[in-house]
Chains A and B, each alone.
Chain A
């Protein structure tokens, strides 16, 4: 494996990072909506959000990507491969982040909500100024844990035909006939991104546990 092959893998890594960032940021916005729907006082909204989360947590990510990919094509949208895949990952992320944040919102002591209501804060201010700042702190370790899952998950975009790191690895492996070396390098590249994040998540978790004592 020469310098050019390595550079090609780095290009793939770049796409993996871009795809992860796009899916995570878009998933953050829509995930917040899912979490708020899930914890809303309106039953119908609650149930719809719960069903949405169940579907995404109970099916393989690969199938979600396939269904979204073909559904978008059927809907007549002429999207590029990376756009279709990014939408798939965003929907996936919104369900998982929604469930994580539902948990954190519910973990904020009940008295906080009551106090906010007693101060006659409206829903918006109650969430924005009282509940969410505390919930975000609680949710941080799990959110980072999911980000790692998402980065690893983007490797499945390769099966749908998008050239990110895993697919770049497949291409180079077919060219050089050194699959072991190539996949070791590819694995190391994923590891180089995911491991620091995992360590950071664990550290936050410990800090939270100490703070909660």
Chain B
């Protein structure tokens, strides 16, 4: 093996790679927010008294969880213009990420709500609390505590998934890497560095998310 490693082009493109990281985090954060909105809405519909609504949510969850994200993002990419919506790659990617993450969020959030013993809710009602008060004072925090770890790892997973959004030319780390690779032909060096950047991002996110949990979700709560 007489290959000479040359990280020069990667170093020259480092500022762009960092911008790519910002793009990746932006995609992941926006996608996650959309996913949580879909997740909460989905849970409400999933337990509604209208049967077709329940079926719709179940079908959505099963469809998303049993097909590849790559196919989903292409479908969204082609489906939006078909219904007359023209969007740039970034919003397209965010919608696809949100839908994907949403399906998993529905399952996670539903599990959290179900983890609250029925007796606690009944006790709250018996004390004369309003339904909303029961939710805010009794259900919310323990449920949050129950779902937070799963949602946090889902968030990190979604961040790693954003690299697939390069397939529709969204501006994130992987597409920046492809650009540098095309100019320099230093494929291994570029992807090796970028992989390390992803690892660092995932690690930092894990630390931040764990800090938030330790700060706001410890038991007992004041």
Q: Which of A63, A71, A195, A198 contacts B174 (CB 8 A)?
A: A63
A169 at the interface (CB under 8 A from B): yes
Which A135-175 residues have a C-beta within 8 angstroms of B? 148, 152-153, 155-156, 158-159, 166, 169-170, 173
Decide if B203 touches A58 in the complex (CB within 8 Å): yes
Decide if A169 touches B160 in the complex (CB within 8 Å): no
A194 at the interface (CB under 8 A from B): yes
Could you list 25 A-B pairs, sorted by A, with CB under 8 Å? A54-B199, A59-B195, A60-B198, A62-B164, A62-B166, A62-B174, A63-B191, A63-B194, A63-B195, A64-B195, A67-B191, A67-B192, A67-B195, A74-B188, A148-B65, A152-B68, A153-B68, A155-B70, A156-B164, A166-B68, A180-B79, A183-B71, A190-B71, A194-B67, A198-B62
On A, residues with C-beta under 8 Å from B are 54-55, 58-64, 66-67, 70-71, 73-76, 148, 152-153, 155-156, 158-159, 166, 169-170, 173, 179-180, 183-184, 186-187, 190-191, 194-195, 198
Decide if A190 touches B62 in the complex (CB within 8 Å): no
B3 at the interface (CB under 8 A from A): yes
Closest to A57 in B: B202
Q: Which of B65, B66, B167, B199 contacts A55 (CB 8 A)?
A: B199
Determine the chain B residues whose CB is within 8 A of the CB of A198 once the complex forms.
62, 65-66
Decide if A60 touches B163 in the complex (CB within 8 Å): yes
Decide if A58 touches B70 in the complex (CB within 8 Å): no
Check A191/B63 contact, CB under 8 A, given A63-B163, A70-B191, A179-B78: yes
Closest to B201 in A: A58
Q: Which of A60, A67, A187 contacts B72 (CB 8 A)?
A: A187
Interface of B is mostly: helix
Interface of A is mostly: helix
Check A74/B3 contact, CB under 8 A, given A59-B195, A60-B198, A66-B187: yes
Closest to B167 in A: A159
Decide if A195 touches B199 in the complex (CB within 8 Å): no
B74 at the interface (CB under 8 A from A): yes
User: How many angstroms between the C-alpha atoms of A73 and B191 in the bound complex?
Assistant: 14
Shortest CB–CB separation between residue B156 and chain A, in angstroms? 8
Kindly list 11 other residue pairs between chains A and B, CB separation below 8 angstroms, not including A58-B198, A194-B67.
Answer: A58-B156, A59-B199, A59-B202, A70-B191, A75-B1, A152-B67, A159-B70, A159-B164, A180-B78, A190-B68, A195-B66
Determine the chain A residues whose CB is within 8 A of the CB of B156 once the complex forms.
58
Decide if A59 touches B192 in the complex (CB within 8 Å): no
Decide if A179 touches B74 in the complex (CB within 8 Å): yes
Check A187/B70 contact, CB under 8 A, given A58-B202, A63-B163, A74-B1: no
Determine the chain A residues whose CB is within 8 A of the CB of B74 once the complex forms.
169-170, 179, 183
Closest to A64 in B: B195
Decide if A60 touches B161 in the complex (CB within 8 Å): yes
Decide if A187 touches B195 in the complex (CB within 8 Å): no
Closest to A166 in B: B70
